[in-house]
Amino acid sequence: MPWADMLKYSAEQELLAKPLYLVLSTPAHGLERVLEVADEHIDYQRELESRGVMFAAGPLATLDQQNWEGDGAFVYRADSLATAKAIADADPMHHKGARTYEIRLWLLNEGNLGIEVQLSRNTAHIK
How far is Cα 52 from Cα 65, in angstroms, rounded to an integer? 30
pLDDT digits (tens, 9 = 90+) for 75-113: 999 999 999 999 999 999 999 999 999 999 999 999 988
pLDDT digits (tens, 9 = 90+) for 25-42: 999 999 999 999 999 999
pLDDT digits (tens, 9 = 90+) for 54-81: 999 999 999 999 999 999 999 999 999 9
Question: What phi-psi label fits residue 58: left (phi over 0), alpha (psi between -120 and 50 degrees) or beta?
Answer: left
Q: Which CATH architecture has domain 3-126?
A: 2-Layer Sandwich (3.30)
Where do the structural domains in the chain lie, given as residue ranges? Answer: 3-126
